[in-house]
């Protein structure tokens, strides 16, 4: 006699922690699972489908913009599970944090739209929703036997066949095998980028599951705004997304005329994306989380105005001095400067010299010590300072600031964030410097130091950048200032980076590297006798 209780579905886990960057700009303000399709958030439709068949124990794993999911608790009685590592690890870690709830479990992705309910109160075996593609694609391929059993997974579909997209059902036996793998892979740094399916891909012998053909033409996954609009055209006329509304207003165009939206991955401060309108491609800059506390947008706007005559910056079509939203033409044939290429470095330094030689009065100052203290205050509101030698390093930086003040170098408008990703080489030979968010008055050599530490330069290449800038051999004082700002700016940007990470961004080992510039170049200045010389003048 069949034991139906054995096959009863116990609960469901919905993974909703990811940021869904490919669906920019909608996901800049809204988690992907909460984006509406045909008037209803995708995650709500799945929850309601689960409730329809009596699955009431539902766990939602959250991370990105987690506070936006809170209403689901009262509305549907779900349980929220937080994944604090969503920004630095892939979705298998979300399942790791919910592993104790794995039984006879439905596993869903919050950003899928399921037309017809494919859930039941009982399931005879483990399965994954399948979609048949008649052409190669980047989705996982499920290699099947004659009984639709999944023999193995391939990381992409090379020929027409079945892919796994959408929900899955994990039997208690399946969950029993998966749980220790989640714990094992969680300890492996090499697995940080893994999806949960990677664990099955690498351990196929541990699992038995089948393709569920009911997912075909039923489960939908929207990777881009264009795909979403193709399924639900209402987004072309009724969007509430502020970025798209801004574009429509600025160009007096309907939302539907905005096409080819593609997120840009470069940059550490902003969320930017490309779009095409009227045959022209533009870059839309959306300030990232926490930047409203870091950047004076009116000062940045004023810097663009002051620099207009130099023909050195990106061309601005629209700039909101309050929000920081900016629209500029995209240069399709432009390339980002390669800091390890000598000619690129030379051209970048020449463009920088042209900026400084213009001696433009700055609308405000870029004061390293003041900014460091400010960022430290913001960081300490969210998290402790992570460096064990932080207080000792801060005292060393104060010593350098005292020396810097004694130099009394005339200040000019500096970029403040002069990194190679902000230097574009156009096909007509021009060099354009973009993103003037941190611009302000300062020692011009500070910009060279910033470029160098952002590019992770060695001392030799740091010296080369200065020679290219000056077009001659530097004086001892100029070299000292170069190392001085490598230390001071390294300390500044390490604290900035820690604050940004506390806000949810992921910069890898960037902050540790910048902190090392602070300590290493302070030591170098001591070894070369600069500090003894200065303090001997007192």
CA distance 125 to 448: 62
DSSP 8-state secondary structure symbol assigned to residue 137: B
**In the listed set 221, 248, 267, which residue is the last one of a domain according to the structure?**
221
Query: Is the per-residue pLDDT at 191 higher than 70?
Result: yes
Q: What is the CATH number of the domain that holds 446?
A: 3.90.1200.10
Give the per-residue pLDDT at 265: 65
For range 428-449, the mean pLDDT: 93
Q: Tell me: the pLDDT tens digits for 304-363?
A: 999 998 999 999 999 998 888 999 999 888 999 999 999 999 999 999 999 999 998 888
Q: Tell me: the pLDDT tens digits for 262-286?
A: 888 655 567 789 999 999 999 998 8
CA distance 301 to 164: 48
Residue with tokens 């290429």: 341
Residue 210: give the domain boundaries: 4-221
Query: Is the per-residue pLDDT at 189 higher than 50?
Result: yes
**Residue 130 within a domain:** yes
For residue 35, give Cα distances in angstroms to 189, 209, 324, 382: 32, 31, 24, 29
CA distance 410 to 398: 20
Query: Is the per-residue pLDDT at 1 higher than 50?
Result: no
Are 147 and 16 contained in the same domain? yes
* pTM, entire model: 0.77
Query: Is the per-residue pLDDT at 408 higher than 70?
Result: yes
**In the listed set 190, 221, 252, which residue is the last one of a domain according to the structure?**
221
**Residue 449 within a domain:** yes
**Residue 291 within a domain:** no
CA distance 137 to 145: 21
Q: Tell me: the pLDDT tens digits for 63-122?
A: 999 999 999 999 999 999 999 998 888 899 999 999 999 999 999 999 999 999 999 999
Are 342 and 211 contained in the same domain? no
Residue 327 CB partners (closer than 8 Å, separation 6+): 246, 247, 250, 282, 283, 284, 285, 316, 317, 318, 319
Residue 536 CB partners (closer than 8 Å, separation 6+): none
**Residue 528 within a domain:** yes
Q: What is the CATH number of the domain that holds 77?
A: 3.90.550.10
* CB neighbourhood size of 355 (10 A): 22
Helix (H, G, I), strand (E, B) or coil at 495: helix
**Residue 249 within a domain:** no
Are 349 and 479 contained in the same domain? yes
Mean pLDDT of the residues in the chain: 91
**Residue 129 within a domain:** yes
**Residue 387 within a domain:** yes
**Residue 86 within a domain:** yes
Are 157 and 19 contained in the same domain? yes
Are 383 and 519 contained in the same domain? yes
% of the chain surpassing 90 pLDDT: 67
Query: Is the per-residue pLDDT at 164 higher than 50?
Result: yes
Give the per-residue pLDDT at 536: 64
CA distance 105 to 414: 57
Under the banding of pLDDT at 50, 70 and 90, the label for residue 239 is confident
Number of structural domains the chain divides into: 2
β-pair partners for 287? 270
Closest residue by Cα to residue 112 from 40, 179, 209: 40
Are 21 and 151 contained in the same domain? yes
| Long-range contacts, 501-510 (Cβ 8 Å, 24+) | 502/379, 502/382, 502/383, 503/289, 503/290, 503/382, 504/64, 504/87, 504/289, 505/87, 505/268, 505/288, 505/289, 505/290, 506/87, 506/88, 507/268, 510/268
**In the listed set 196, 221, 246, which residue is the last one of a domain according to the structure?**
221
Alpha helices in 223-296 (DSSP H): 225-231, 235-238, 242-250
Q: And the tokens for 354?
A: 């042209």
Radius of gyration of the CA atoms of the chain, in A:
27
Are 347 and 216 contained in the same domain? no
Strands 127-133 and 210-212: parallel
For range 133-141, the mean pLDDT: 87
In SS3 terms, 522-538 reads as: HHHHHHCCHHHHHHHCC
Supply angle C-alpha 469, 475, 476, rounded to 5: 125
């Amino acid at each position: 006699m069949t034991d139906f209780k054995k096959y009863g579905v116990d609960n469901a886990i919905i993974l909703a922690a990811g940021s869904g960057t490919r669906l920019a700009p909608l996901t800049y303000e809204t988690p992907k699972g909460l984006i509406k399709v045909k008037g209803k958030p995708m995650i709500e439709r799945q929850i309601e489908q689960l409730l329809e068949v009596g699955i009431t124990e539902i766990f939602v794993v959250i991370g990105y913009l987690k506070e936006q999911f809170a209403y689901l608790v009262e509305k549907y009685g779900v349980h929220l599970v937080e994944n604090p590592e969503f920004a630095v690890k892939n979705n298998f870690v979300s399942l790791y944090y919910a592993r104790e709830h794995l039984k006879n479990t439905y596993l869903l992705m919050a950003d899928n739209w399921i037309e017809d309910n494919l859930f039941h109160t009982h399931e005879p075996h483990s399965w994954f929703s399948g979609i048949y593609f008649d052409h190669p694609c980047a989705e996982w391929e499920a290699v099947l036997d004659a009984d639709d059993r999944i023999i193995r997974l391939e990381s992409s579909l090379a020929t027409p066949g079945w892919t796994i997209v959408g929900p899955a059902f994990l039997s208690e036996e399946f969950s029993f095998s998966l749980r220790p793998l989640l714990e094992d892979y969680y300890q492996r740094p090499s697995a940080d980028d893994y999806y949960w399916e990677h664990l099955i891909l690498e351990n196929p012998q541990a699992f038995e599951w089948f393709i569920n053909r009911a997912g075909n033409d039923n489960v939908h996954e929207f990777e881009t705004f264009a795909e979403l609009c193709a399924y639900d055209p209402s987004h072309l006329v009724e969007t509430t997304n502020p970025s798209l509304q801004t574009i429509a207003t600025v160009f007096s165009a309907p939302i539907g005329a905005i096409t080819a939206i593609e997120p840009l991955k470069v940059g550490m401060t902003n969320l930017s994306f490309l779009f095409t309108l009227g045959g022209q491609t533009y870059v839309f800059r959306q300030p990232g989380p926490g930047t409203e506390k870091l950047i004076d947008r009116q000062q940045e706007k004023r810097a663009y105005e002051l620099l207009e005559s130099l023909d050195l910056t990106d061309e601005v079509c629209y700039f909101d001095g309050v929000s920081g939203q900016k629209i500029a033409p995209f240069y399709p044939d432009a390339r980002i400067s390669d800091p390890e290429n000598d000619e690129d470095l030379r051209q970048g330094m020449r463009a920088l010299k042209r900026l400084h030689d213009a001696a433009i009065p700055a609308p405000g100052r870029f004061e390293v010590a003041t900014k460091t203290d400010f960022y430290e205050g913001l960081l300490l509101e969210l998290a402790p300072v992570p460096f064990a030698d932080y207080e000792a390093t801060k005292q060393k930086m104060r010593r350098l600031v005292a020396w810097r003040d004694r130099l009394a170098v005339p200040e000019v408008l500096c970029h403040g964030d002069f990194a190679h990703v902000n230097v574009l080489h156009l096909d007509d030979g021009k060099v354009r410097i973009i993103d003037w968010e941190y611009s302000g008055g300062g020692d011009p050599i500070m910009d060279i130091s910033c470029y160098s530490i952002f590019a992770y330069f060695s001392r030799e290449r740091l010296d080369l950048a200065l020679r290219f800038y000056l077009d001659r051999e530097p004086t001892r004082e100029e070299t000292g200032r170069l190392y001085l700002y490598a230390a001071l700016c390294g300390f500044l940007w390490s604290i900035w980076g820690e604050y940004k990470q506390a806000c949810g961004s992921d910069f890898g080992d960037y902050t540790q590297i910048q902190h090392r510039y602070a300590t290493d170049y302070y030591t170098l200045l001591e070894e070369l006798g600069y500090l003894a010389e200065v303090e001997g003048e007192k």
